Amino acid sequence: MCYYAQPAGSKLTRKPTQIVQIKLRLQERLRREVEKLAKKSGRSLNGELVALIELALEIANRGGRWAAFDETIEALSRSMAENTDRINRVAENMDRINRLLDVQREHARSQEKRGEREKSAPPNTERAGEKSE
């Protein structure tokens, strides 16, 4: 059985699901900020305070959806690292391919120039071993 803080002299126990009323003292600045959040989320001031307390407890305990959130972030980080490695390997392969293409283009240009020189050169009428005068 769970026991919760109760007025002095009280012998009653409360169930964890029971709604209890408490007095809360906070600065006006905080009340206004919570009230703004409550309006944005469509909750009452009390509902927003309860939601904020639950969120703070989840964060403090690092349980529930926050643990799953942490696991998701870790999985995404690992995936990003793996993808970065893959991207780097692809970039290296692209560099190799580009270097090979450059060599191939240079070879094609030199072949083209050689062919142009052969076409523009006058025909050689000398036979091997003969000299023209």
Tens of pLDDT, residue by residue over 60-118, are: 777 666 667 777 888 899 999 999 999 999 999 999 999 999 999 999 999 888 887 77
Q: How far apart are CA 46 and CA 20, in angstroms?
A: 12
Give the phi and the psi of residue 18 in degrees, each rounded to 5.
-70, 140
Predicted pLDDT of residue 132:
54
With tokens 């970039």, the residue in question is 91
Q: How far apart are CA 39 and CA 48, in angstroms?
A: 9
pTM recorded for the entire structure? 0.41
Tens of pLDDT, residue by residue over 26-70, are: 999 999 999 999 999 999 999 999 999 988 887 777 766 666 777
Q: How far apart are CA 98 and CA 113, in angstroms?
A: 22
The residue length of the chain stands at 133
